[in-house]
Amino acid sequence: MSRLPHPTILRKLRQLYRVTRESYRQPLAGQPQPPVLVEHEELGISFIGHSSFLIQIGGRNLLVDPVFARALILLRRQRRAGLRVRDLPPIDAVLLTHAHMDHLHLRSLRQVVRHTRRITGVAPEVIVPAGVADLVAKLGFRMTSELEWWQEAELRAADGTTTGVSVTMTPAKHWGARMFKDTHRLFGGYVIANGQHSVYHSGDTAYFHGFREIGSRLAPRVALLPIGAYFPDSYRAVHTSPEEALQAFIDLRTAQTMIPMHFGTFPLGREPMEEPPVRLLEAARRAGISSRVRVLGEGETLRVRATERSYAR
């Protein structure tokens, strides 16, 4: 006699069906933009959508959690990716914060590898948390590095020379399994620095006191922090609300600019899609730091000069 699925599994399947069906109700919004390329001494942060960014630092081009697909299996994105792979500059390195499919998207990674190899003849390197290397082993990257929390790697050019750009993995409060049982996989964020600039991408995380340590140890100047998928309240065990993300930014102390992410692309939480940035900006107004929060549209680029003055295009 066959056994019926566990009630919890049935409930989750019903939730997935409802969210997937709802994701197709509205037409895709937004249009890709040509990438804004910055000068060698500038920092460029281009928002692709969700948690995906193109970061230009020290003359190097990095992608963090690049997802260009219209759908994750069945779940369709609500806004188009702000950049197209074919328009990207050659990529030196890809950073992946954890193994979840909305952050580590295999087809997007293959496209990035092929695109860069077509331009330069050399594939990018990839940096992943400990326990994640097997997922990217056959994608064609020229080099794979696994990091634990607080470990640092220095990006190297294709000829092996140093670039002056370092990547340090940071703690987070989340989880890293690709499937249900591979809980050995680590997760986290990264601070990318080159002496003139430093950027913190937190990855997915709930609010925790580790933000203060990240700020004191690594002193990032720009913070990319997640603000979506916080409702129902149980989701905040692994995600931050907009108000909590702002508190994380304040906890960092050294960060001068906050750029929100993880909102408006995939309907992962039950809050209205347009709500997270509205709540963030209101919280920033109440805290008196509105000028330090920059909500970027898909394809928009924040440019930061070495003098720390910034502007967006």
Total of domains in the chain:
1
Report the CATH number that the domain containing residue 127 is assigned in CATH. 3.60.15.10
- Write out pLDDT tens, residues 229-286: 999 999 999 999 999 999 999 999 999 999 999 999 999 999 999 999 999 999 999 9
Q: Residue 202 and residue 209: Cα distance in Å, rounded?
A: 13
Q: Residue 272 and residue 225: Cα distance in Å, rounded?
A: 19
- Contact (Cβ atoms closer than 8 angstroms) between residue 66 and residue 96: no
Predicted confidence at residue 8, as pLDDT, reads 55
Predicted confidence at residue 183, as pLDDT, reads 87
Query: Residue 154's pLDDT band (boundaries 50, 70, 90)?
Result: very high
- Contact (Cβ atoms closer than 8 angstroms) between residue 102 and residue 266: yes
Residue 185 belongs to a domain = yes
Predicted confidence at residue 16, as pLDDT, reads 60
Residue 2 belongs to a domain = no
User: Tokens 């997640």 appear where?
Assistant: 226
DSSP for residue 303: E
Residue 92 belongs to a domain = yes
How many C-beta neighbours within 10 Å does residue 177 have? 15
For residue 20, what are the contacts with CB-CB under 8 A and spacing of at least 6? Answer: 74, 75, 76
Q: Residue 211 and residue 247: Cα distance in Å, rounded?
A: 9
Distances (CA, A) of 60 to 54, 93, 162, 252, 302: 10, 8, 11, 25, 16
Length of the chain: 313
Predicted confidence at residue 5, as pLDDT, reads 53
Q: Residue 228 and residue 263: Cα distance in Å, rounded?
A: 5
Q: Residue 149 and residue 168: Cα distance in Å, rounded?
A: 8
Residue 135 belongs to a domain = yes
Predicted confidence at residue 206, as pLDDT, reads 98
Structural tokens at position 209: 């006191």
Residue 125's beta-bridge partner residues?
93, 143
Min mean pLDDT across 26-40, 220-234, 248-262 is at: 26-40
Min mean pLDDT across 138-152, 169-183, 245-259, 269-283 is at: 169-183
Residue 222 belongs to a domain = yes
Q: In which domain, by residue range, is 141 found?
A: 7-312
Q: Residue 129 and residue 146: Cα distance in Å, rounded?
A: 5
Q: Please tell me the number of Cα atoms within 13 Å of 12 on its side-chain side.
A: 5
Q: Please state the φ and ψ torsions of residue 3, each to the nearest 5 degrees.
A: -95, 140
Residue 1 belongs to a domain = no
Pairing of strands 71-72, 75-76: antiparallel
Among the listed residues 90, 82, 85, 144, the one whose alpha carbon sits nearest the alpha carbon of residue 109:
85
Distances (CA, A) of 214 to 54, 76, 83, 174, 178: 22, 34, 30, 16, 26
How many C-beta neighbours within 10 Å does residue 17 have? 11
Q: State yes or no: cis peptide before 232, omega within 30 of 0.
A: yes
- Write out pLDDT tens, residues 87-122: 999 999 999 999 999 999 999 999 999 999 999 999
pLDDT of 11 strictly over 90: no
Average pLDDT rounded to a whole number, residues 19-39: 83
Structural tokens at position 48: 């692709």
- Contact (Cβ atoms closer than 8 angstroms) between residue 218 and residue 183: no
- Contact (Cβ atoms closer than 8 angstroms) between residue 260 and residue 269: no
pTM score: 0.92
